Structure 1
Amino acid sequence: MTPHPAWSVRTDHTVYAVRLEPGGRWAETAAWGPLGAESGPSPYDWSCRTHFITPADAAPAEYLPYGLRPFGGPDLTVRRPDGERGLWWTFTGAVQDDERSLRLEFTDEPTGLRTVLAYEAVPGTDVVLRWTEVENTGSEPLHLERLDSAAVNVPVTAGARLTHLAGQWSQEFTRTQLDLVRGRFTMESTQGVPGHAYAPWLAVQDTALADGPDTPTYGVALEWPGNWHITADAEPGGTVRIRAGRVPHEGAVLLRPGSRLTTPRLACAFSPGGLDGLSQVWHRYERRLAGERLHRTRKVLYNSWEATGFGVDAASQLELADLAAGLGVELFVVDDGWFTGRTDEKGGLGDWDPDPAAFPDGFDAFVDGVRGLGMDFGLWVEPEAVSPASRLYAEHPEWVYRIDGRPATLVREQLLLDLGREDVQDFVTGTLDRLLTRHRVDYLKWDMNRPPTERGRPGAGPAGKQDLDAAHVAGYLRVLDHLRAEHPHVTVEGCSGGGGRIEHATLARTDVVWPSDNTAPLDRLAVQYGYLHAHAPHTMSSWVTDAPGVFDPRPRSLAFRFVLAAAGVLGIGADIRRWTPAQRAEAARWVARYKEVRTVVHHGRARLIGSPADPTCGVQYDEADGPRTVVAAWSTGRLDGAPLVPGRASRLRLRGLDPAARYRDEHGTLYSGAHLLHSGLPLAWTAAHDAELVVLTRQ
């Protein structure tokens, strides 16, 4: 008996194995897990005996069109000019030069649609990238109504434990879990960005094994800063099938004869070490995305927004800069309000020239004043936005998204530029080039504070021939790529009303991102706890402010806020003019402390210990090639001097240490690794002491 064709894609520690269905009509998952998991009977094996569904609907298929998979949910739906949507392809070839990549080709003769399923293992990580390429080799136009990037299959017994990151503006990245026994779970965004409600990230575990530190855990993350969806189906036969891809704004994408389309990449990750192990896979992957820029020092910044709002002028900014420099700040960023016409939310966007009234001695003299204090200089920009009262809108009203004969919706008193237009892209790149060459700017905070509403482009043909979401994404990425190429010294921070646009395409082109506008201590702890499940600490910008809690208003100390911000990339956003001398002195000590350990925080192995729901939680960072372990720890319970048992310290059980080694803290206390693993690191919380940054050095 001739075996069916099969292929394996290998990462450093995992394997993704694929085989061809006996009839050659589709590819299906054979194994996904640790190296060696492909040896032996496949956990995805199915009997081929089905009732009321087709074999393709029951199979652990890698990717199937409507026609072959009519009931379980197709990954590709193609509409022909006569309205028929079926597609019945056959396997036409495979290319595998090594075990790091694979390409499988399928062709539908009547339509001429050629589909390639692509796989690529990312060196130095346990991530396999998957995407799909479709080409219309026929003679008639085709409309792609569904064009997912990939589907992955996870074997389960009693159901799937799904972990996802949900929320809303100011409450992003809330770690949320549900058990899916049967049925469908979907999350998506049609806001032109990933959005605040869900992150394009999902982790899957077998409910029978969930919550253990050694639980096999699977994850996917979609690389796409536009409309998207991730759907999980608990299917008959004991698998959960995850589909992910972009969502066309117009409902379908036109694929003309001779045209080709490539879907966004879906990153697929596996770890045998539970959610904590999976997070470390994602952290390694994002460090690789950063490339050489990973080793650029992410400087301590001060942002003036919460101190001055729109009331920007040289005198007040320089006053803040002088105080910030005294705290050890390395970068001073002027937020919204520095440009002409920007006295409130209603004006100025699009006219990106420094306001001469705010800088009477000239903007360059102001910048030199900041730099003379020993700090770099940065600016906030919102390149995709335009104010109706701006000069830009008066000159180019056609540049905004609009539908003829329909009213325009203002969100935050602004409209959105159609960044899919090449002339708009040229305007944005030209504007940023001018700012970055005329003035000594080292840092840009790129914000986006509204979704597209009346998303149309009059004069560009019927909606069925447009793909505005993909065009905007391409324009956005083109501008970011331009910044990288033409201004490599400039650090770029990504922001969209907080954490509304954070995914791998953005993270590959920015240096840090802003997870949330909420900087209140306990609220922010929950945001950062969820964020670090999916993203690396070196990407996480975090500020110390005086903001009260929105969802959890319990007060916390300045130390709590500093340790929290030090868990990523430290910034300060409070009105430091109002701080007492004692607070400023304490802040200077924390800034100095952070500088001593930031390389460990940004490049070390991060482990989440406990959660914000526990009385004590923390993050452990192990130095990659050094002896240090840094532990950021917080008291999240009541601050009455008696955390759990009166007189007894709380303890964080650390992980991954050598039990036979000895570790010394900065006070000289010596611990065995076994003690820290078994009994835990003692933390004596009081009302005046609710956070610690502990540095342990292996002896």
Structure 2
Amino acid sequence: MAIKIDVEKHLFHLQGKKTSYVMQVVRDGYLAHLYWGKRVHNYRGSNKLIFIYRGLSPNPDPQDRAFSLDTLPQEYPAFGTGDFRIPAYQIQLENGSTVTDLRYKEYQVRQGKPVLKGLPSTYAEEQSEAETLEIVLEDQVIGLNVILTYSLYEERDVITRSVRFENNGKRKLKILRALSASVDFRDDEYELITLYGAHTNEKNIARRKIVPGNQAVDSCRGASSPQQAPFLALVRQGTGENHGEVYAFNLVYSGNFIAQVQVDQFQTARVSIGINPFDFSWLLEPAEIFQTPEVVMVYTDCGLGEMSRMYHELYRQRLCRGIYRDLLRPILMNNWEATYFQFTAEKLEQIAIEAKKLGVELFVLDDGWFGKRDNDQSSLGDWIVDRRKLPKGLTDFANRVRNLGMEFGLWFEPEMVSPDSQLYRKHPDWCIHVLGRPRTLSRNQLILDLSRKEVREYIIDAVSAILSTVPITYVKWDMNRHMTEVGSAALPPERQRETAHRYILGLYEVMEELITRFPDVLFESCSSGGGRFDAGMLYYMPQTWTSDNTDAISRLKIQYGTSLVFPPITMGAHVSSVPNHQVGRTTPLETRGYVAMGGNLGYELDVTKLTEQERKTVKEQISLYKEIRPLIQFGRFHRLLSPFEGNEAAWNFVSEDQTEAAVSYFKILSEPAPAIRIVKLQGLHPDYVYKNIETGEIFGGDELMNAGITLPRIKRDFISMFWRFKAIGCHTTGHV
């Protein structure tokens, strides 16, 4: 068994292939955290807890001044009974007090991994893949049970955590804070890594030493947001791509979150992550249950690259679902930057015809096909085709695309409504709003209140009406604003602070229903690009539009940072025209192509305006990508040079059997008197002999990784280089 229990000592040891996570019930039922890190065969308490008297740290046992919850490393700490650090949860009773006292009650171990009701989570296809420990903590005074759930993927060395609150008492309880995980570390010698950004500038990497006090990233925007991601990692000083300890936390949730580390007065660090308690509460009636989202926790002593690959493989294989999880993703042409709102059926068909000649497999019609949508000022919510632009209807146009030998895809923004729309005029109370307050617009739109059943049903019916009558195999699901005036006309006053979380639960319900009804449709999520690129969305939609910024140089950082947690197969990446529409930069078509080949390749430009040489280049790019697509989408990804640390970026992909590799190198600006540079590959088999597909040169895998490739001198900005290698033999056996 992967989960070992010492019943006499109340010791719980979650033992992965290379990791161990250890807890123990101490004193009068307190659940203490003892160890998380490199695997130990048997935990016997060598790092035992030592208590000494600390002034101003309260003592629950008046006979023992040394023992205090303020210094005890805990698994799910409370506030109000002696621990002054950030609590994992907080409950308000009907009398207004917020003191609770959870003590250990019992445990249960089961094979497999339970589904979280109404929430996305990783899963096990076979019972043997995972083992789950549930530890029940109880506050007997109020009849509250809190169930801590730990699922261990033994072979993957991944632990997931979530928490379930059960009100077994006779009175209402109000949850003010319900985080999904809290881990107490014994020291503070760590650096903190987080991902931050903005619209068109997502997933930048921040790294800094943690200091006394609280360091937090969060969102209170109603979405996981481009500003901060629901992820953090603690790393030891000097940890790099291929060495060093990493403790990583990623929340499988798409709404308001907080992820934080607090360093206390005694140089210990507490990490906690979950739903943001700001502007949140949840009224828990007797016999009701509240479930927190899941946290995916990864430990490795082999650096950030190994951490990423652990997340990549888990998310690709056991978070993403549906037939497209294991299928090659299509190369698409999206009309957005080619036409924006101003298009006709004839113009779109011209683009589709030229795209097909170049090898494109899917044509996607973006915003502007419905209502009277000539700009962003109207029609969201009215999902009726605009016959001015498509006079023969959507089905006719989709069939024209399919008759060319391509699939057809369509853009929706189902969560939103325009004040200038039939839907809003009929149901002005269906949006998120506060009675008597002005309704702030963003992008000229409001947010539909998905906490309401009738609103969810309308969205499901409206989208289903299109998908069931038009031959669509791809949907781009967009969301282009964050929440203001957060309130619901359908909720009573005591539940208004539940609105944001109920919205996310409603969104998940809508998406679950649609992907169940239409299992053959590839759904791609989007939120002005990467504004909701999170693990929660990937459970329903196995890829995400990484950023509205299609500039190749900007995308080096955006895709590099995104890859810290998410696999390339989940990243939509497009080649667009120059000067780039977002930043005005002009980059070579070759470079734009190689950057976009780092994810799911697509194009977003008017191909009817390309020169013959550009057509030839695009056709060659598409042909190449079709050859390497299995390697890119299902191979192992290695970051080689960081654009956050210099003037270059590089990465390589290696097939699971290590017989194929693809390498991309980019230099941003040309330099005078540059150094001769060498790029060292990663992930190859050291005993294999590899052939350079383009030149025919032969090199050992050990040579390519240790000696590397010397880069030629090119006097030009925004250059790119690309290599492919295929194993042709083995040093020791002579064959692969």
Q: What interval of TM-score do these two structures reach, taking the shorter chain for normalisation? A: over 0.9
Please give the alpha-carbon distance, in whole angstroms, between the structure 2 residues aligned to 1:348 and 1:687: 50
Q: Which moved more, 1:134-143 or 1:438-447?
A: 134-143
- Quote how far apart the aligned CAs of 1:597 are: 0.7
Where does residue 505 of structure 2 map in the other structure?
474
Contact 1:616 1:652 (8 Å CA) reproduced: no
Where does residue 653 of structure 1 map in the other structure?
680
Please give the alpha-carbon distance, in whole angstroms, between the structure 2 residues aligned to 1:212 and 1:621: 15
- 1:243-262 equivalences under 5 Å are 243-247=272-276, 250-262=279-291
Where does residue 88 of structure 1 map in the other structure?
101
Where does residue 380 of structure 1 map in the other structure?
411
Where does residue 220 of structure 2 map in the other structure?
190
CA pair 550-155 structure 1, distance change in 2 beyond 3 A: farther
Contact 1:31 1:44 (8 Å CA) reproduced: no
Deviations 1:295-314 (A, max 9, x none): 11200011100010011320
Contact 1:160 1:181 (8 Å CA) reproduced: no
Letter of the aligned partner of 1:382 in structure 2? E
CA pair 643-337 structure 1, distance change in 2 beyond 3 A: farther
2:689 to 659, 662, 668: 662
Please give the alpha-carbon distance, in whole angstroms, between the structure 2 residues aligned to 1:409 and 1:42: 58
SS of residue matched to 2:705: helix
Please give the alpha-carbon distance, in whole angstroms, between the structure 1 residues aligned to 2:405 and 2:573: 22
Where does residue 666 of structure 2 map in the other structure?
634
Percent identity of equivalent pairs: 29
- Quote how far apart the aligned CAs of 1:42 are: 5.2
1:14 to 10, 19, 29: 19
Letter of the aligned partner of 1:50 in structure 2? R
Where does residue 79 of structure 1 map in the other structure?
92
Contact 1:248 1:467 (8 Å CA) reproduced: no
SS of residue matched to 1:290: coil
Contact 1:222 1:244 (8 Å CA) reproduced: yes
CA pair 44-403 structure 1, distance change in 2 beyond 3 A: farther
Contact 2:578 2:587 (8 Å CA) reproduced: no
- 1:52-63 equivalences under 5 Å are 52-54=56-58, 55-63=68-76
Point out where structure 2 has 5 or more consecutive residues left out of the alignment: 1-5, 59-67, 112-129, 729-736
Contact 2:578 2:584 (8 Å CA) reproduced: no
1:617 lines up with 2:649 in the alignment: yes
Contact 1:522 1:549 (8 Å CA) reproduced: no
- Quote how far apart the aligned CAs of 1:547 are: 4.9
Q: Which moved more, 1:129-138 or 1:284-293?
A: 284-293
CA pair 629-46 structure 1, distance change in 2 beyond 3 A: farther
Where does residue 458 of structure 2 map in the other structure?
427
2:612 to 558, 563, 581: 581
The two structures have a TM-score, normalised by structure 1, of 0.95
Where does residue 161 of structure 1 map in the other structure?
191
- 1:454-493 equivalences under 5 Å are 454-464=485-495, 467-493=498-524
2:371 to 331, 336, 340: 340
Please give the alpha-carbon distance, in whole angstroms, between the structure 1 residues aligned to 2:582 and 2:49: 47
CA pair 51-479 structure 1, distance change in 2 beyond 3 A: same
Contact 1:58 1:236 (8 Å CA) reproduced: no
Please give the alpha-carbon distance, in whole angstroms, between the structure 2 residues aligned to 1:388 and 1:598: 43
Letter of the aligned partner of 1:313 in structure 2? T
1:681 to 709, 726, 729: 709
Contact 1:46 1:59 (8 Å CA) reproduced: no
Contact 2:324 2:522 (8 Å CA) reproduced: no
- Quote how far apart the aligned CAs of 1:62 are: 0.8
Please give the alpha-carbon distance, in whole angstroms, between the structure 2 residues aligned to 1:100 and 1:386: 44
Where does residue 602 of structure 2 map in the other structure?
571
SS of residue matched to 2:608: coil
Please give the alpha-carbon distance, in whole angstroms, between the structure 2 residues aligned to 1:71 and 1:467: 27
- Quote how far apart the aligned CAs of 1:398 are: 1.6
- Quote how far apart the aligned CAs of 1:156 are: 4.1
SS of residue matched to 2:70: helix
- Quote how far apart the aligned CAs of 1:252 are: 1.8
The two structures have a TM-score, normalised by structure 2, of 0.90
- 1:53-132 equivalences under 5 Å are 53-54=57-58, 55-97=68-110, 100-122=131-153, 124-132=155-163
Deviations 1:553-604 (A, max 9, x none): 7643111111111001001112222221101110110111011111111111
SS of residue matched to 2:563: helix
Please give the alpha-carbon distance, in whole angstroms, between the structure 2 residues aligned to 1:92 and 1:309: 60
Contact 1:444 1:492 (8 Å CA) reproduced: yes
1:268 to 297, 303, 311: 297
Please give the alpha-carbon distance, in whole angstroms, between the structure 1 residues aligned to 2:553 and 2:618: 19
Point out where structure 1 has 5 or more consecutive residues left out of the alignment: none
Letter of the aligned partner of 1:190 in structure 2? C
Q: Which moved more, 1:427-436 or 1:656-665?
A: 656-665
SS of residue matched to 1:577: helix
- Quote how far apart the aligned CAs of 1:315 are: 0.8
Deviations 1:381-439 (A, max 9, x none): 00011111111111111211121111111110011100111111111111111111111
Where does residue 36 of structure 1 map in the other structure?
40
Report the number of matched residues: 691
Contact 2:575 2:604 (8 Å CA) reproduced: yes
2:179 to 132, 148, 156: 148
1:23 lines up with 2:28 in the alignment: yes
Please give the alpha-carbon distance, in whole angstroms, between the structure 2 residues aligned to 1:554 and 1:401: 39
Contact 2:328 2:633 (8 Å CA) reproduced: no
- Quote how far apart the aligned CAs of 1:44 are: 7.3
Letter of the aligned partner of 2:10 in structure 1? P
Contact 2:79 2:85 (8 Å CA) reproduced: no
CA pair 324-2 structure 1, distance change in 2 beyond 3 A: closer
CA pair 283-21 structure 1, distance change in 2 beyond 3 A: same
